Structure 1
Amino acid sequence: MNVLSAQELDSTGTGTLVLDTNLEEFYLIVDDDVPNAVLAKSSIEINLQSGIRKLTVSSRYNDDYSFELDIPASDTLEYSIFISLYPRYPKTSFYTIQSGRNLRILTDKESVIFIDGREVTSHYSELFLPNGSYELRIDNPDHGSLNSKLKINSLEVKDFIRFNEEPSRHLRPLNIIPGFGQIRKQQHIKAGVFITGVLGLGIAAIRSDALYSDKKETFDTQFEEYLAANTVAEARSLRLEAESTLDEMQRINNTSRALALGTLLVYTYSIFDSFQKPKSGYRGPGNIDPSLVVQSSPVENELYPQLSIRMNF
């Protein structure tokens, strides 16, 4: 049995927890403090701050199991748990804790990384942070600052790849293609909006222009018939038809101009936006990370492959 003391506890307000499990090995996480998780074999005796404590048991083959206990001051609490469910794909923090990191940050070499206002390191860092949300700031002497929010989850290692300076600058001339610059900046939703806008308005403008041409042919035919009319009544009727067609042509022409102007404005703005630096920085390669791992099942006693794809947006 492991006998351990939690860090920086006031001895006058602590109690002892004796936790017994049916697990061969597990990490005990106190109050979501994942970096200070304690490794135990089957059972553990640990001194904790008295009061309501959130405890999480993380093992290899099970989902993380969380519960709350009221730790008595200057007394011992004995507690047992029995976990019998072995899911094929457990949602466990065990491997993240074992690796000693849950966040990797990569940025420009000249940059300095700050988390919640505290300087962490330079352009590359591997960290182990408690679960929660954090304010990330990356300062660069030549390109200013990047600001972003991070949400840390101990179930996975989060990769944060951002650059102040634009990577692949040699591809900038291709930004004249609507949406291409946004795709390069990993702004896929915005790219879709620009591509859809330019194509949609452009196609509508082309169709409107084709409709105008059809009406123009109709008007020319009506005008020729008007000139060839044999009676005043026939001429008056053909004239009214031609004037009606002419009015339709005017409306269609106004619509075509509006659609053409809209297409030009969306296209121009897409080009302008493609050269703007994103507030959260340029996303680099590695935002899509496929990996193939082999898991073992303690119940079925067999190995099976697991393909996982992590995408950071």
Structure 2
Amino acid sequence: MTKYLFLFLTLFSTTLYAQNKTGFIKFEFNTDSAYVIPGNDLFEAVKLASGDSLKFTEGTRLLSFQTYFDKSKTQFIKVIGDSTVIYSHTFEKNGLSIAALSDNIAARDYYNANAMILTDEDSEIFFEGNYVGTGFAKFNTFGNIGKLTIKNPDFGISESRLNIPEQKLIFITDKLRPSKSAARFFSVFPGASQFYKRQHVKALLLGASAVTIFAAAALKSANYKEELSLFKEYQNNYENAETEQIALRFGDLAESQQSKVKKLDNQRRGLLLAGILIYGYNIYDAFTSKPAGGYLKKKRDFQFYLSELPISGNIGAAGTLKYNF
């Protein structure tokens, strides 16, 4: 009995050891350090220097990597028990983008912020009533839920609630000033461009006028077709009349109906012309009129703001002047 119990315990221990077998992954990066994120869980992220190793149980592991200017897609890496696997990852050094910064724990630590807001150059940004920047702001909410307010002198106020786990950075683009290209695109729909540019009265007039006139033109066209069909019926009866009296009767009806058809035709043509003129003016206005305060100004993306250098507490620029002697 003791022999069998010993054999059972030995087999159990061997099986347990096989199940808990571990190995190492050695990470090599083209940066000094990076974050390794097991299972895409930012709370489990580990910062490693290039050349460091991590211990994992044997099997296939789901990992991703982040540095402050880039992040990888999810990778599947096989861990071999009692062995070290070397895994190399190259980050794109020119890959800085909004997508690379969003949900990036390395960028959060590098910039000491878990929120970045990009808006119009002249829009002021507030978090919980405190001014944090104009045009662009990066700050840390420290896990607090708060109100984000963006104020523009020409286009009013945009408000939203921020609830950001401190373990990641989010990037918000909220531009209140309209862009010229979008305004021109919306010219396809009467009043839409004007509404986009916040010219609400003009948008209402153009939109309502276009809808009313084109709807009236459609009704007149439907009436015109009905009356034209009746005129053709009278005309056919007149041409095939068997007696003079019947011919005179349908001739009078056809003449009266023809006058009615011509009137409806003129009305529908007039309405269509008016609708075309309104539509044409809508397009002309969309391309020529500017919103209050103008369109979206210089295209300064977040890289412009991130590259600004603080000089003695102010934002400045450095330059070099060369002389040839």
Give the TM-score band, short-chain normalised. 0.3 to 0.5
Larger radius of gyration: 2
Which is richer in strand?
A: 1
Structure with the higher helix share, 1 or 2: 2
